[in-house]
């Protein structure tokens, strides 16, 4: 799988984390049904590996299903065994390259960005994006024009539009999109939020 190509095409990565594994799985399936192709299940989700395994079985081998909050090579191994096809980290993490799967590695500062690239990151998760906002991403584009950035953290619909306009290949969206759905919340509201973010990813003004 070419992670960067997928992110460029879809421009949106949904981040699911919650306390109810049944609701988390239902949330993943609903997001995909609503046209959000790339979904990350955070390992902080209750019984996350089971959720990943069941989501993979439900969605099939080609689904863009990743594991998030990967903080070690051991985390990566467990997530991949469960069926994740790419890894997302909150920070610079060693030991992931040998697994041979795409990695969206977390970084914030220029030094961290260089460290992530040196460890084979396919794209850089700009985290927490809320610290600098879209203006910070614009400043990073000058020294790092070739780096695929995916801002994550506090990305609502307006911020998503601004990040994409400033050169992000995609945005990662957690609670502004998922809300309380992964804890058992209303799926109709989730569908409405999914439609809003999908429109932003398509280039419509929020």
Task: Please tell me which residue in 112, 125, 146, 196 is annotated as part of the active site.
Answer: 125
b/e burial code for range 1-30 (CB count within 10 A of at least 16 → b): eebbebbeebbbbbbbbbebbebbbbbbbb
Q: What interhelical angle do 21-33 and 187-201 show, nearest 10?
A: 40
- Give percent helix, percent strand, percent coil of the chain, each to the nearest 5: 50, 15, 35
Task: Please tell me which residue in 19, 33, 34, 40 is annotated as part of the active site.
Answer: 40
Asked if 34 is an active-site residue, the reply is no
Distance of CA 129 to the CA centre of its chain: 13
Burial class (CB in 10 A: 0-12, 13-18, 19+), 75: buried
Asked if 40 is an active-site residue, the reply is yes
Q: What amino acid positions are annotated as catalytic residues?
A: 40, 125
């Amino acid at each position: 799988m070419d992670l960067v190509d997928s992110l460029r095409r879809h421009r949106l990565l949904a981040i699911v984390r919650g306390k109810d594994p049944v609701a988390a799985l239902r949330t993943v399936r609903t997001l995909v049904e609503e046209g959000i192709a790339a979904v990350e299940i955070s390992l902080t989700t209750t019984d996350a590996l089971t959720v990943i395994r069941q989501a993979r079985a439900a969605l099939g081998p080609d689904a863009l299903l990743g594991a998030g909050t990967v903080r070690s090579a051991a985390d990566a191994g467990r997530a991949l065994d469960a069926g994740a096809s790419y890894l997302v980290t909150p920070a610079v993490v060693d030991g992931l390259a040998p697994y041979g799967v795409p990695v969206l590695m977390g970084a914030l500062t220029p030094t961290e960005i260089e460290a992530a690239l040196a460890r084979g990151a396919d794209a850089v998760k700009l985290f927490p994006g809320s610290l600098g906002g879209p203006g910070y991403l614009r400043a990073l584009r000058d020294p790092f024009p070739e780096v695929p950035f995916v801002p994550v953290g506090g990305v609502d619909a307006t911020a998503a539009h601004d990040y994409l306009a400033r050169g992000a290949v995609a945005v990662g969206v957690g609670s502004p999109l998922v809300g309380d759905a992964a804890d058992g919340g209303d799926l109709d509201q989730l569908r409405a939020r999914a439609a809003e973010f999908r429109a932003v990813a398509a280039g419509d003004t929020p």
